Amino acid sequence: MAIADLELEQRARPQEGFGDWVARRGTAFWVVAALLLVMPAIASPFWLVQIIAYAMILGMIALSLMFLAGYGGIVSLIQMTVAGFAGYLVAILGGSAITQISLNWPWWTAVPVAMLVATLFGTLSGALSVRTEGIYTIMITLAIASAFYYLTLQNYTIFNGFSGFNGILPPVFLGIDWGQSLPFYYLTLACAALAYGAVIYVSRAPFGLALQGTRDNPRRMAALGFDVVAHRIAAYTFASLIAASAGVLLVWYQRQISPGTAGVGPVVDMLIIAVVGGLSRPIGPFIGALVYVLLRTFALDVLEGVGLDGRRYQLLIGLGFLVIVLFSPDGLIGIFQRLRERYRRGRDARDSQMGTGGGTP
Partner 1 sequence: MSDFVARRPIWSLIILLALAILAWLVFSIWTPGMEAMFGRKRVFLSALFNGITLGALYFLVASGFTLIFGLMRNVNLAHGSLYLFGGYVGYSVGEWSGSWLVALLAAFLLVAIVGILMQLLLFRWMEGQDLRQTLVTIGLSIIFADLLLWSYGGDTFQVTAPEWLSGPVTLPFAVALRSNGEAVMMTYPLVRIAILIGAIIVGVLMWLALNRTRVGMLVRAGVDDRDMLSATGVRVQLVFVMVFAFGAGLAGLAGVVGGTFQSLQPGEDTRILLSSLVVVIVGGMGSIPGAAVGALIVGLAEQFGSVYMPTYAVMLTFLIMVAVLAVRPEGLAARR
Which residues are at the interface with partner 1 (CB under 8 A)? 75, 128-129, 131-132, 134-136, 138-140, 142-144, 146-147, 150-151, 154-157, 264, 268, 271-272, 275, 309, 312, 314-315, 317-319, 321-322, 325-326, 329
- Short-list 175, 155, 178, 176, CA closest to 165: 155
Q: Whole-number minimum distance, CB 93 to partner 1, in Å?
A: 20
**Rounded to the nearest whole angstrom, what is the least distance from the CB of residue 114 to partner 1 in the complex?**
21
To the nearest whole angstrom, how small is the minimum distance from the Cβ of residue 246 to partner 1?
Answer: 22
Contact (Cβ atoms closer than 8 angstroms) between residue 279 and residue 331: yes
In the chain, what is the straight-line distance between the N-terminal and C-terminal CA atoms, in Å?
A: 45
**Cβ 272 to partner 1, closest distance in Å?**
7
Rounded CA gap, 327 and 76, in Å? 23
State in angstroms the smallest separation of the CB of 261 from partner 1: 16
CA distance 204 to 1: 16
Minimum distance from CB of 268 to partner 1 (Å)?
A: 6
Instruction: Give the separation between CA 146 and CA 131, rounded to whole angstroms.
Output: 19
At 360 the three-state DSSP class reads: coil
Contact 60, 249 (CB under 8 A): yes
Tell me whether residue 131 or residue 338 sits nearer to partner 1 (CB atom): 131
Looking at beta carbons only, is 73 or 170 nearer to partner 1?
Answer: 73
- 90-95 contact pairs (CB < 8 A, 24+): 90/114, 90/168, 90/247, 90/248, 90/251, 90/252, 91/164, 91/165, 91/168, 91/251, 91/257, 92/158, 92/159, 92/165, 94/168, 95/167, 95/168, 95/169
Helix (H, G, I), strand (E, B) or coil at 306: coil
Which is closer to partner 1, CB of 16 or CB of 216? 216
Nearer to partner 1, 95 or 263 (CB): 263
Element (H, E) at 176: strand 176-177
Sequence-distant (6+) residues with CB within 8 A of 212 are 71, 72, 203
Q: Please say which residue, 29 or 150, places its beta carbon nearer to partner 1.
A: 150
Looking at the chain, the number of H-run helices and the number of E-run strands are 17, 4
Q: How far is the CB of 311 from partner 1 (least distance, A)?
A: 8
Bridge partners, residue 280, by sequence: none
Query: Which residue lies nearer to partner 1 by CB, 18 or 327?
Result: 327
For the bound state, the minimum distance from the C-beta of residue 316 to partner 1, rounded and expressed in Å, comes to 9
Closest CB 58 distance from partner 1, rounded Å: 17
Cβ neighbours around 192 below 10 Å, total: 25
CB of 256 to partner 1, least distance (A): 21
Which is nearer to partner 1, 37 or 319 (by Cβ)? Answer: 319
Quick one: 94 or 288, whose CB is closer to partner 1? Answer: 288
Distance CA 157, CA 136 (A): 33
Residue 27's Cβ-side half-sphere holds a number of Cα atoms within 13 Å equal to 0
Q: Which is nearer to partner 1, 76 or 188 (CB)?
A: 76
CB nearer to partner 1: pick between 97 and 158:
158
